[in-house]
Amino acid sequence: MLALTILIDGIVYASWLFIVALGLTLVFGVLKILNIAHGSFYAVGAYAAASFVGWFATLGLAPELSPVAMLLAAVAVAALLAPLTERGLLRVFYGRDEVLLVLVTYALFLILEDVTKLVWGPTPYYVSEPYMLFGNVEFGTLSYVGYDFMLIIVAVLCGLAVWWGLNRTRIGKIVLAVIHSDEIASSMGVNVSRIYTFAFMFGIFLAALAGALTAPMVSVQPGLSVGVIIVSFAVVIIGGLGSIEGAAIGALIVGLARALAVHTWPAAELFSIYIAMAIVLVFRPEGLFQRVQARKI
């Protein structure tokens, strides 16, 4: 029973984490940018969801439609903010050192932190209606909220979609060409900047979606962004940067490690992520799924 609880709790947490990490790993994979501001887009997604769900309610739409509102919120964030950031900001710095780009996204994180505060103010938003939409699932003595299981489904769907898109479609292969070298890809006729914009947009969509999906479970307020950055970084590192499968397994490892800690040794929760990451890296210095490197010599 305990093992099963740990498993369920771990998977639920992992699915949330996976959606965030998926976007992060995608953006890194394609644009070679380790996006610290990913957490900010997550927060903006949560805020947008809060606004959209509230807006749906004022329009008199049924609360059953609130998932649609959340999805729309994520789409809106991606459609508006992603091109703005990618074309307006990141593009200026392409080709620069990777570390420098991390710094650019750190600056972006600082800026977005205050911008969300200016736009939405410091008071928290609550949109817990969707959380109850899917009822409860009784499980022995435990009661889970159906929403949590819905989260698992969404995560699996997102993962499959991105994996399929990158590995089984032509677009994916074209993206691989861009990842390898934008100069070569554009010589072959690939509109590299469009691929960049789309990839970034999709990554941001995933961040915003994760934020939107989390909005009903928390109060949406300043400070939301910081918490997710490091843990999603850890997931992506464990899995191997840029790897979809890796992000999935990394999320599971982190989720299960955390659930195991909480249930059996709560005092160790604070360390669980870092220990998991360190153990994986000691045995697999480049993460579980390392990207294939071209021959150097």
CA 44 – CA 50 distance, rounded (Å): 10
Q: Which of 58, 62, 143, 283 binds other proteins (CB under 8 A)?
A: 143
Helix residue ranges per DSSP H, the chain: 2-31, 38-58, 66-85, 91-93, 98-120, 129-132, 146-167, 170-180, 182-187, 192-214, 224-239, 244-264, 269-283
Confirm or reject binding of residue 124 to other proteins (CB under 8 A): yes
CA 172 – CA 248 distance, rounded (Å): 18
Confirm or reject binding of residue 7 to other proteins (CB under 8 A): no
Q: Which of 64, 117, 153, 157 binds other proteins (CB under 8 A)?
A: 117
Q: Which of 55, 153, 164, 180 binds other proteins (CB under 8 A)?
A: 180
Confirm or reject binding of residue 191 to other proteins (CB under 8 A): yes
CB of 192 to other proteins, least distance (A): 6
Task: Please give the torsion angle defined by the CA atoms of residues 203, 207, 210 and 212, in that order, rounded to the nearest 10 degrees.
Answer: -120
- Binding-residue pattern over the window 195 to 234 for other proteins, x denoting contact by CB under 8 A: -------------------x-xxxx-xxxx-xxx-x--xx
CB of 223 to other proteins, least distance (A): 4
Confirm or reject binding of residue 269 to other proteins (CB under 8 A): yes
Confirm or reject binding of residue 131 to other proteins (CB under 8 A): yes
Task: Please give the torsion angle defined by the CA atoms of residues 254, 255, 261 and 266, in that order, rounded to the nearest 10 degrees.
Answer: 110
Mention every residue, 6+ apart, whose C-beta is less than 8 A from residue 2: 263
Find the helix packing angle between 66-85 and 38-58, rounded to 10°.
140
Q: Which of 94, 144, 149, 198 binds other proteins (CB under 8 A)?
A: 144
Q: Which is nearer to other proteins, 75 or 133 (CB)?
A: 133
CA 86 – CA 255 distance, rounded (Å): 31
Pair 147, 87: CB distance under 8 Å:
no
Q: Specify the stretch interacting with other proteins by CB under 8 A; choose among 48-56, 68-76, 86-94, 201-209.
A: 86-94
Site for other proteins in 39-58 (CB under 8 A): none
Pair 233, 24: CB distance under 8 Å:
yes
CA 263 – CA 269 distance, rounded (Å): 9
Q: Which is nearer to other proteins, 62 or 99 (CB)?
A: 99
Q: Specify the stretch interacting with other proteins by CB under 8 A; choose among 65-73, 78-86, 115-123, 201-209.
A: 115-123
Q: Specify the stretch interacting with other proteins by CB under 8 A; choose among 58-66, 73-81, 88-96, 201-209.
A: 88-96
**What are the φ and ψ backbone dihedral angles of 120, each rounded to 5 degrees?**
-105, -5
Q: Which of 128, 156, 160, 168 binds other proteins (CB under 8 A)?
A: 128
Q: Which is nearer to other proteins, 75 or 222 (CB)?
A: 222
Confirm or reject binding of residue 184 to other proteins (CB under 8 A): yes
**Lookup: tokens for 191:** 């509109």
CB of 268 to other proteins, least distance (A): 9
